[in-house]
Structure 1
Amino acid sequence: MGVGDANAAGFIHGGTIMKLVDEAAGLAAIRHGHSRVVTAGVDRMTFLVPVNIGDLVTFRSRVNAVWRSSMEVGVRVEAENPRTGEIRHTNSAYLTMVALDADGRPTAVPPLETTSPDDERREREAQLRRRNRLAEREAVRADRAAKGEDYG
């Protein structure tokens, strides 16, 4: 990461990391769905430690769960100090990506094949995050409806 990516304190802007996380998630989703994708949401973006100027940054992305046209993609960000070789886990994120057909409409994607206990754990946790998102959305709608407010 270079000086142009940093703030006055010498740390890489969170927005720069977020953009690269989105790109890494998109690539994993494209590879799985064999179609173009859009970002539908970011469930969580956790900043653990800063990324410094000069760090080599690695983004590891993988599809955690698949529904009809959407997928949860987890991204792990690691920064390496090239002088010392120290590697730090700096960020984690979960994004929902939606596959699109040639007309820009959501399209079905292949199911996810889980082949290891780690894959099964990732899918189980992704399903839990999805249930929590849907429950929260329904609770907000119900609260606004009870107060006569529009849900927009």
Structure 2
Amino acid sequence: MNSEYRKVSTSKVTISELMLPSHTNFSGKIHGGYILMLMDQIAFASASKYSGSYCVTASVDTVDFLNPIEVGELTTLKASVNYVGNSSMIVGIRVISENIQTGKITHCNSSYFTMVAKDSAGNNVTVPPLMLCTRDDVRRFYNSVKRLSLKKEKIVHEETFDHTSVEAIEALKNYRVKVSDELAK
């Protein structure tokens, strides 16, 4: 176990790529799946750089595609480890695009990937603890703690919520659904 603290800055990775016509979807914008692939690559690079180990993607939090990316724009992804557990790390990723003719920069999306460090046999490896050196490091760390807490609350709610109860079936009337007569009994 490596107990020597590592700075967030040791995990920072930036990649830029020119968006080509081969990266487009049917509407001529850059395909979201292609951006997700790039996000997974940078999450791997950031987590592996920080931990010194091979890392795998354990989960991806919400990815909101805020703005489309156009062909010919320079897309830049920035990533850093925001939180560490025993063998897991939360990597924050920000994606921006730049129109290289006008210089206009657009925030396209942000997401958080949970990465797990592994050894050559596929077993989890303990990662070094995190040293927070800037106010942004502290903010990102606390935001990760809050997201983890909300995720745990959601899991507990899903495990304890009785979707078959009369109240739950009755509450469905507030939505654009119709419950079959058999289910309503």
Q: Which runs of 5+ in 2 are unaligned?
A: 1-18, 166-185
Aligned to 2:107: 89
What is the deviation of 1:101?
A: 1.2
* 2:36 maps to 1:33: no
Distance 1:22 1:133 in 2: 21
1:3 aligns with 2:16: no
Determine the structure 2 residue equivalent to 1:116.
134
Q: Judge conservation of contact 1:68–1:108 (CA < 8 Å) in 2.
A: yes
Return the alpha-carbon distance in structure 2 between the equivalents of residues 141 and 7 of structure 1.
38
Using the TM superposition, give the Cα deviation of residue 142 of structure 1 relative to its aligned residue in structure 2, in angstroms. Answer: 2.5
* Equivalent residues of 1:60, 1:76 under 8 A apart: yes
Mapping of residues 40-119 of structure 1, within 5 Å:
40-119=58-137
CA contact (8 A) 1:42 1:93 kept: yes
Equivalence for 2:31: 13
- Code of the aligned partner of 2:148: R
Quote the residue 2:146 is aligned against.
128
Q: Check whether the contact 1:44–1:95 (CA below 8 A) recurs between aligned residues.
A: no
Shift of 1:131: 1.1
Q: Deviation of residue 46 (structure 1)?
A: 1.5
Cα distance per residue 1:32-86 (max 9 Å; x no partner): 1100001000112111100001111100000000010001100000111111111
| In structure 1, C-alpha distance between the alignment counterparts of 2:21 and 2:65, rounded to whole Å | 20
What displacement does 1:104 show? Answer: 0.4
| TM-score of the pair, normalised by structure 1 | 0.91
Residues 91-112 of structure 1 deviation map (CA, whole Å, 9 limit, x = unaligned)? 1011100111121011110011
* Structure 1 stretches lacking a partner, 5+ long: 148-152
1:139 matched to which residue of 2? 157
What SS does the corresponding residue of 2:64 show, helix, strand or coil? Answer: strand
**What CA distance in whole angstroms lies between the structure 2 residues aligned with 1:143 and 1:102?**
40
Distance 1:50 1:69 in 2: 34
Report the Cα offset of residue 136 of structure 1: 1.2
Give the TM-score normalised by structure 2.
Answer: 0.75
Aligned-partner Cα distance in 1 for 2:51–2:62:
22
> What amino acid maps onto 2:100 in structure 1?
P
Output the amino acid matched with 2:56.
V
Q: Residues 13-47 of structure 1, C-alpha deviation per residue, up to 9 Å, x if partnerless?
A: 11111110111111110011100001000112111
Name the Cα RMSD after superposition. Answer: 1.4
Partners of 2:161 and 2:106 in 1: how far apart? Answer: 42
The number of aligned residues is 146
